[in-house]
Amino acid sequence: MKIFVINTGSSSIKYKLFDMANDRAIASGLAEKIGEADGMLTHEVTEDKGRPWKKSTERDIPDHRQGLNLIVDSLVHPEYGVIGDKSEIWAVGHRVVHGGEAFKASIIIDERVIAAIRENIPLAPLHNPANLTGIEVAQAIFPDSPQVAVFDTAFHQTIPKKAFLYALPYDLYEKEGVRRYGFHGTSHSYVSEKSAEYLNQPLSKLNLITIHLGNGASMAAIRRGKSTDTTMGLTPLEGLVMGTRSGDVDPALPFFLADHLKMSLGQIDTLLNKESGLKGLCGINDMREVLQKAASGNEAATVAMEVYCYRIRKYIGGFFAVLEYLDGLVFTGGIGENAPEIRRLCCQGLAGLGIELDTERNLNTSKEIREIGSSNSRIRLLVVPTKEELKIAQETKKVVRKSRGN
């Protein structure tokens, strides 16, 4: 059984093909700079006669349809392809950023689903239109394969009203859907399930705080397996400090910038989403470079790192209060999995909450699930590599099988 997972951006298509017999990715890649003269297609085969194979080709990719056709050509290529024909694709899973309140779970895509995703465009104007494009193109190329939408927001639909409402006129929620939605739900769901497996406990009995740290970053408070609060809000801008996003700021800041600096709404949006976060604080949005500069004594990088980790510690304390007790604290994402110094700073000073890091364990560079807490830590501290594309493939398999009654 082969499931094709697509994550479509405004000028890109990221993809992975899974053999669900063993939940293994057999090919992956990226078509980028779609619509530009210097388009690029990178295709990688996980194993080619025992060895991985990768090739990048610069070429014109005029639109998403052409991009997806080129990807399919790579998948069936006689030299480095991994399937004989596109008919081997059993189903296609799509990452969709915003499902609003319409979707509490993954779903087979039909006209009603497409209409609902379109209705949520005002909530995710940069993401949902691209996701729709990917769906429409994939439907044309794989007309006989069921298509499934897996929503970033779905996992957080269990958050109670007291946590998702903003203190704004209630009409804005009822009529316009203004509320906290949360994102990275696929990752938070996956790592919570894997944490439960590692701890040999039913997820329905565990309270966890999951911390997804990548260029985008968010946290979730998970009570007995269900999301009960999260750091991102109406959009992915709220919450933690990120690579280029500010996270939490005074809501009156845009008025100050408009009145005092005469900035337009577009300029403010660009400032908060693309020029802030780590980049705004020290000029660099890649945490690896921030850590290197901080280690060499760069003051701006050191401050950026401290601000980043301080915000996370605040949310750990807040989510601890929300959950009342905690079984595990889980780090994931590119930074969460690979930056021991960030994990150390995030856990610093939390012994009173039962969170104590083991310095030697924390330096372990294994790519597997691993424990980083000391023997004195009352709360289990884990690093769990996230596999969002695999989770999308698993959801796709489950939804299609359910629809067919098997």
| Active site residues per annotation | 152
Tell me the two tokens of residue 378: 């009352």
- Report which of 33, 6, 28, 135 is spatially closest to residue 75, judged by C-alpha positions: 28
- Quote the CA–CA distance of 313 and 348 in Å, as a whole number: 8
- Quote the CA–CA distance of 116 and 198 in Å, as a whole number: 37
Cβ-contact 357, 373 below 8 angstroms: yes
- Quote the CA–CA distance of 12 and 22 in Å, as a whole number: 28
Q: In what order do the strands lie in the sheet with 89-96?
A: 51-58, 40-48, 24-32, 12-19, 2-9, 89-96, 147-151, 107-108
Residue 95 corresponds to which amino acid? R
- Quote the CA–CA distance of 152 and 189 in Å, as a whole number: 10
Tell me the two tokens of residue 388: 């969002």
* 66: Cβ contacts below 8 Å, ≥ 6 apart: 34
- Report which of 48, 49, 2, 57 is spatially closest to residue 30, judged by C-alpha positions: 57
- Quote the CA–CA distance of 329 and 354 in Å, as a whole number: 11
Beta partners for residue 41, in sequence order: 31, 57
Tell me the two tokens of residue 84: 């004989």
Residue 211 corresponds to which amino acid? I
Torsion sign, CA atoms 20, 98, 218, 6: positive
Strands 40-48 and 89-96: unpaired
- Quote the CA–CA distance of 396 and 402 in Å, as a whole number: 10
